[in-house]
Amino acid sequence: MKLADAKKHQPAESRWLNKRLGKFRLLSLLGQGAMGKVFLAEDTTLKRQVALKVVATSKDDPKAQAKAQQFVREARAAAKLNHPSIVNVLEIDQQKDLLYIAMDLVQGGDVKQLIKNSGRIAPAKACDLAADAADALAFGHRLGVIHRDVKPSNLMLTREGRCKLADFGLADLGDPNDDFRMPDGIIGTPSTIAPEVARGQPAQPASDQYSLGCTVWYMLTGQPIFSGKNVREVLIKQANEPTPSLAEHCPDLPDVLIQGIETALSKDPEERHADCEVFARLLRGHSIAMGPAGSSMSLSSASLAAVMPPAAGRRQKTPWLIAGASVAALALGGGAMIAFSGNNHESPPATPAESQSLEAESVARVTAPETEALEETTATTTTTTEPPPPIETASVPPTPFPPPATEPAAVNADVLEFTADQTQQIKPLVADDTVVSVTGRVQSAQLSQSGKTFMVKFEGNGRGDFQVIWKPSAYEKMGTAFGGSHGEQLAGQRIRVTGELSSMFGTPQIQVTSPEQIEMLD
């Protein structure tokens, strides 16, 4: 065989090895897919190993140009975000028709691979890894960057056991001059896509929080939150179906953690945590392993409140209906084009014998009802994130009540009295276990999405200001006293509620155990 013919029949991988791209020498292939190849490479100047992502570009190929544009956007986004839990981009350059990005090398694989190899992740470790990712998202959101494709395969693992968020190729950079768009498409991965994005609405920071919530679900259960025969079916479930009960899959998880994850998975973005920083603090509070493997130290509501800023309240709503032309067309079996990154869903655990090859990031256009599964990858590195310091609640000297609008409410009486429009003063000034009385007109009285709490909110309350709750043990007597199965007929009534103050995810609340705590004023 001639030398030229021998080279032609070499495996594709070996034809790349020991080649040079700029100052980088290619050592081995880490993964490949629709977006290109990822190599282990040596920086010949600094004598260190990096992950080198390579994509071919062509002026004559619109698809290649789109890949190149996405490739450059990923580098721009990651370079903008200097954070220990985000993959560090070292360099981007071009040699002839090859674009390449040099990144720190993360050698622990990703969360998807870990679950395929070993099954679901112990709760304490899952919370620890997810908190790293939530910190990274919160940092990006503060700089106007929305990831838009948070999923298990984009959570990279270092050898030290930390998590790094990867693949900003689909990110919204918050740049008005950025004209990157997916024509007639939705951006994301079906198994972790937020309901509002599945309905064709733009992604927002709360959308990343939902996607991370889906990823935490996958880490804890070993399976996606929704699955289906095709992309259309998964999308419809994400947009319409209530969140399955995490407690049924993981009965040993603390209630506070379950409620926190379910808050992140609320169908309505307004009912999720106030931001990813809040979600990160919740997760950090459950990242300390205690006792048998898989258990975690559960913080009480009061102690959790010390580290949690206000979280969104949650209210029951009628089920979402898919809106937007592209998803509606999917639901009708039409030919709308949907753009997704990677496979149509994250796979459930597989045996170690299954293929563990890395996938290279991609955006797959899927025409309903058929799906084209494309592969995805990312490679990266390591640093640790310290948990944020607790925010202590403060108490202040008493002042007369009722105060002028510019003065704080009294905080040292036997019973501190507030009107509903003053409840924003409670959080910074009143400690837990203080007896307070709040007067106002009830805006809503209904079960939480999980069904484990009945929640009453007042007119004039802002998000995270104050709430009244009671648990299932009080449902019957509250329903008997106030109407409805649980007390629903309180809606629209003017009441005074009195009880000890506590906190849930940083939101001040009174937990009612008896109808005597509520006085009807109308």
The verdict on residue 245 lying in a domain is: yes
**In terms of domains, do 87 and 122 share one?**
no
383 or 484: which carries more pLDDT confidence?
A: 484
Model confidence band, residue 508 (pLDDT cutoffs 50, 70, 90):
confident
**In terms of domains, do 91 and 133 share one?**
no
- Mean pLDDT over each residue of the chain, to the nearest integer: 73
396 or 475: which carries more pLDDT confidence?
A: 475
Enclosing domain of residue 66:
3-103
The verdict on residue 401 lying in a domain is: no
Question: How far, in Å, are 198, 233, 333, 334 from residue 324 at the CA level?
Answer: 9, 16, 14, 13
How much of the chain exceeds pLDDT 90, in percent? 36
Question: How far, in Å, are 416, 494, 501, 506, 508 from residue 403 at the CA level?
Answer: 12, 21, 20, 24, 20
Q: Single out the residue in 103, 136, 154 at which a domain terminates.
A: 103
Model confidence band, residue 387 (pLDDT cutoffs 50, 70, 90):
very low
Rounded distance between C-alpha atoms, residue 495 and residue 457, angstroms = 11
Report helix angle 205-221 to 123-142, nearest 10: 170
Query: Could you tell me if 508 and 501 are in contact, meaning their C-beta atoms sit under 8 angstroms apart?
Result: yes
Rounded distance between C-alpha atoms, residue 164 and residue 254, angstroms = 26
Instruction: Count Cβ atoms below 10 Å from residue 521 Cβ, excluding itself.
Output: 11
Quote the pLDDT of residue 107: 87
Q: Single out the residue in 68, 103, 138 at which a domain terminates.
A: 103
For residue 255, give the 3-state DSSP assignment.
helix
Question: How far, in Å, are 1, 149, 169, 245, 342 from residue 153 at the CA level?
Answer: 42, 10, 14, 24, 9
Instruction: Count Cβ atoms below 10 Å from residue 75 Cβ, excluding itself.
Output: 22
The verdict on residue 482 lying in a domain is: yes
Q: pLDDT for 206-217, tens place per residue?
A: 999 999 999 999
- The residues that bridge with 507 in the sheet, in sequence order, are 504
Instruction: Count Cβ atoms below 10 Å from residue 475 Cβ, excluding itself.
Output: 16
Rounded distance between C-alpha atoms, residue 38 and residue 28, angstroms = 9
Q: Single out the residue in 103, 137, 168 at which a domain terminates.
A: 103
193 or 376: which carries more pLDDT confidence?
A: 193
The arithmetic mean of pLDDT across residues 102-112, rounded, is 91
**In terms of domains, do 125 and 273 share one?**
yes
Rounded distance between C-alpha atoms, residue 418 and residue 422, angstroms = 6
The verdict on residue 391 lying in a domain is: no
475 or 186: which carries more pLDDT confidence?
A: 475
Rounded distance between C-alpha atoms, residue 408 and residue 393, angstroms = 15
Quote the pLDDT of residue 203: 93
* CATH value at residue 493: 2.40.50.140
Residue 187 clears pLDDT 70, i.e. is over it: yes
Hey, what amino acid is at 182? M
For residue 246, give the 3-state DSSP assignment.
helix
- The residues that bridge with 496 in the sheet, in sequence order, are 439, 519
Query: Could you tell me if 152 and 133 are in contact, meaning their C-beta atoms sit under 8 angstroms apart?
Result: no
Q: What is the CA radius of gyration of the chain?
A: 26
* Residues found in the chain: 522
Q: pLDDT for 330-350, tens place per residue?
A: 333 333 334 444 443 443 444
346 or 142: which carries more pLDDT confidence?
A: 142
**In terms of domains, do 75 and 157 share one?**
no
Predicted model pTM: 0.58
Quote the pLDDT of residue 470: 86
Domain count for the chain, please give it: 3
- Least confident residue range of 48-62, 236-250, 411-425: 411-425
* CATH value at residue 247: 1.10.510.10
Hey, what amino acid is at 463? R
Active site residues: 149
Model confidence band, residue 463 (pLDDT cutoffs 50, 70, 90):
low
The verdict on residue 439 lying in a domain is: yes
The arithmetic mean of pLDDT across residues 90-106, rounded, is 88
Alpha-helical runs (H) found in 291-344: 301-305, 325-331
Handedness of CA 157, 158, 162, 166 (dihedral sign): negative
DSSP H or E stretch at residue 68: helix 62-80
Instruction: Count Cβ atoms below 10 Å from residue 498 Cβ, excluding itself.
Output: 18
The closest alpha carbon to 78, from 181, 168, 185, belongs to 168
Query: Could you tell me if 191 and 224 are in contact, meaning their C-beta atoms sit under 8 angstroms apart?
Result: yes
Quote the pLDDT of residue 175: 64
**In terms of domains, do 355 and 248 share one?**
yes
**In terms of domains, do 62 and 86 share one?**
yes
* CATH value at residue 48: 3.30.200.20
**In terms of domains, do 354 and 494 share one?**
no
The arithmetic mean of pLDDT across residues 63-87, rounded, is 78
- Least confident residue range of 70-79, 292-301, 360-369, 501-510: 360-369
- Least confident residue range of 91-95, 107-111, 313-317: 313-317
Query: Could you tell me if 515 and 478 are in contact, meaning their C-beta atoms sit under 8 angstroms apart?
Result: yes
**In terms of domains, do 445 and 357 share one?**
no
The arithmetic mean of pLDDT across residues 153-162, rounded, is 92
Rounded distance between C-alpha atoms, residue 131 and residue 125, angstroms = 10
Q: Sort 338 into a burial class: Cβ within 10 Å, 0-12 / 13-18 / 19+.
A: buried
Known binding residue 53? Answer is yes
Rounded distance between C-alpha atoms, residue 44 and residue 20, angstroms = 10
The tokens describing 321, both together, are 């209906």
Residue 413 clears pLDDT 50, i.e. is over it: no
